[in-house]
Amino acid sequence: MELASIRDFSVQGKRVLVRVDLNVPLDEQGEVRDGTRIKASLPTIRYLLERGAKVILVSHLGRPKGKVKEELRLDSGAQRLSYFLKKKVHKTTQVVGEEVHKAVEQLSPGELLLLENVRFEPGEEKNDPRFARELASLADLYINDAFGTAHRAHASTVGVAEFLPAACGLLMEKEINILAGCLELPQRPLLTILGGAKVSDKIGVIKRFIGLADYILIGGAMANTFLKAKGFELGDSLVEEDKLKEARTLLEQAQRKGKDLILPQDLVVVKELKEGAFSKINAIEAVEPGWKAVDIGPQTIEKFTRLLREAKVILWNGPLGVFELPPFHRGTEAVARAVAQAQGYTVIGGGDIVAAVEQFGLASAIDHISTGGGATLEFWEGKELPGIAALRRSKEKKEER
Ligand code: ADP
Ligand code: MG
């Protein structure tokens, strides 16, 4: 790997600033609803604590937009961390400043401090060098372990790497190795499944996969736009009318490469988008006005399942229907079961599809559940993520010296 690793440094007694991703969903009481991302950050934290580092964690939560928002303080994240680690987690009420410097001074080797939500500071999202320097002044070494935020060029993910020796943490390293490993010299057939709400979010990924994957299966509302671009009437289904041209271009590009975008053959349609609504199965040719597609139909499930059986690598982003409203989770669930049982190496990434697979109780049967949503998509697009680029530059600079 062309990046410096946490393993390359001796950390005993050092102050180590670790960018983690504690941006987890909270419930109405402000308690952590799903601690998956917190769990994923534990290996790096344990690694450092066991080796006697003074660990300073920094993370964002939600979108406070540079202002203090009481409901977005990181206290419940600190509690959950403390529960997982069976260890006290010191926490400051500020991100930088005197309180924070004092807390860092009082930290002993093997102790852990969590700074307040870094997006309370206006300098964070602006990647303000003054703020980045301020953060860097707390530590001797910077570790970025927040893969889920690596597609953002912020002070705590990019700027700070200019001022400190920088390396990736164990989670960052694992994500990069697995995601890159699936795409560089992939085992074949490489099968990808794309769903979710919008084509516009995923155009870059579709383009890359047209050049790379053997099969591209498409479901969800995104499929509606492609079906409409092919000339089918989709009734009142969610269609991105302003993306029809782009969808047509993608269909043509795929065809020129001898690859079909594999679209649904049948759909589940409803008149009213609500839980338990009356539904019927519809051929793609015949969705009537007033009806909308909310899931893939049984023939499509069968076809997808058949292709999944022979795949060596399976990459999946985006649910295939409105899985939040039962029974329109069925297509997503059936395909998730087929993915869980598949022989090939399976990777899923994306907020909603990960939540869906967790909800179906299938998460443990997936080989790699990426902690990135947007970050995973951009990685699949072949973009170098700013957070990763910053670590690479930092290593290059060190080698020049
Ligand atoms: P991910 O977070 O996995 O990347 P997206 O955010 O792109 O996925 O899309 C998830 C959303 O897409 C879900 O809220 C789901 O209800 C919606 N969706 C999927 N299929 C349809 C459909 N046929 N019509 C409307 N919305 C859909
Ligand atoms: Mg989403």
Do 289 and 332 fall into the same domain? yes
- Residue 235 Cβ inside 6 Å of ligand 1? The answer reads no
Instruction: HSE, CB side, 13 Å, CA atoms: give it for residue 351.
Output: 9
348 falls within a domain: no
User: From the CA of 341, how far away is ligand 2's center (Å)?
Assistant: 24
Ligand 1 touching residue 205 (CB < 6 A): no
Q: Which residues contact 73 (CB under 8 A, 6 or more apart)?
A: 61, 93, 116, 117
Ligand 1: distance of its center to the CA of 109 in Å?
Answer: 46
| DSSP-assigned beta bridge partners for residue 194 | 218, 317
Q: What is the pLDDT of residue 200?
A: 87
Q: What is the DSSP string of 45-58?
A: HHHHHHTT-EEEEE
Evaluate: CB of 353 within 6 angstroms of ligand 1. Answer: yes
**E strands, 118-178, where?**
141-144, 166-168
- Within a domain: 361: no
My answer on whether 162 and 231 are in the same domain is no
Q: pLDDT by residue for the chain (401 residues), tens digit each? A: 589 999 999 999 999 999 999 998 888 898 888 888 999 999 999 999 999 999 999 999 999 999 999 999 999 999 999 999 999 999 999 999 999 999 999 999 999 999 999 999 999 999 999 999 999 999 999 999 999 999 999 999 999 999 999 999 999 999 999 999 999 988 999 999 999 998 888 999 999 999 999 999 999 999 999 999 999 999 999 999 999 999 999 999 999 998 889 999 999 999 999 999 999 999 998 899 999 999 999 999 999 999 999 999 999 999 999 999 999 999 999 999 999 999 999 999 988 999 999 999 999 999 999 999 999 999 999 999 999 999 999 999 888 87
Residue 324 CA: nearest ligand 1 atom is: 16
The Cα-based distances of 73 to 17, 100, 248, 298, 372 in angstroms read 19, 15, 45, 45, 22
pLDDT at 5: 97
- Enumerate the H helices of 290-350 as residue ranges: 298-310, 330-341
Ligand 1 centroid–CA 40 distance in Å is: 25
Place of tokens 């009734």: 235
160 and 216 share one domain = no
51 catalytic? Reply is: no
Q: Does ligand 1 have an atom closer than 6 angstroms to the CB of 197?
A: yes
What is the residue range of 67's domain? 6-171+384-400
Spatial distance between the Cα atoms of 263 and 175, rounded to a whole number of angstroms: 29
Q: Which atom of ligand 1 sits closest to the CA of residue 201?
A: 7
Whether 37 sits among the annotated catalytic residues: the reply is yes
Domain boundary among 310, 327, 343: 343
Q: Give the pLDDT confidence score for residue 1 in this predicted structure.
A: 57
Same domain, 146 and 280: no
- Answer whether residue 210 is part of any domain: yes
pLDDT at 185: 85
pLDDT, tens digit, for every residue of 269-297? 999 999 999 999 999 988 999 999 999 99
Q: How many CA atoms lie within 13 A of 353 on its CB side?
A: 34
Please count the structural domains in the chain.
2
Do both 84 and 213 map to the same domain? no
- Per the rule left: phi > 0, alpha: psi between -120 and 50, beta: everything else, 34 is beta
* pLDDT, position 198: 87
Q: Are residues 63 and 200 in the same domain?
A: no
266-270 and 215-218 beta bridge pairing: unpaired
Give the pLDDT confidence score for residue 398 in this predicted structure.
84
Same domain, 210 and 327: yes
Does residue 238 share a domain with residue 160? no
Residue 368, domain member (yes or no): no
What's residue 284's pLDDT? Answer: 93
Same domain for 53 and 108: yes
Task: Using DSSP bridges, classify how beta strands 266-270 and 292-296 pair: parallel, antiparallel or unpaired.
Answer: antiparallel
Task: Please check whether residues 158 and 200 belong to one and the same domain.
Answer: no
* Residue 266 is assigned to a structural domain of this protein: yes
User: Do 128 and 13 share a structural domain?
Assistant: yes
**Nearest residue (CA) to ligand 1, atom 9:** 196
* Helix (H) / strand (E) containing 91: strand 90-91
Residues 157 and 11 in one domain: yes
Give the CATH number for residue 60: 3.40.50.1260
Which residue's CA lies nearest to atom 14 of ligand 1?
Answer: 322
From the CA of 323, give the closest atom in ligand 1.
16
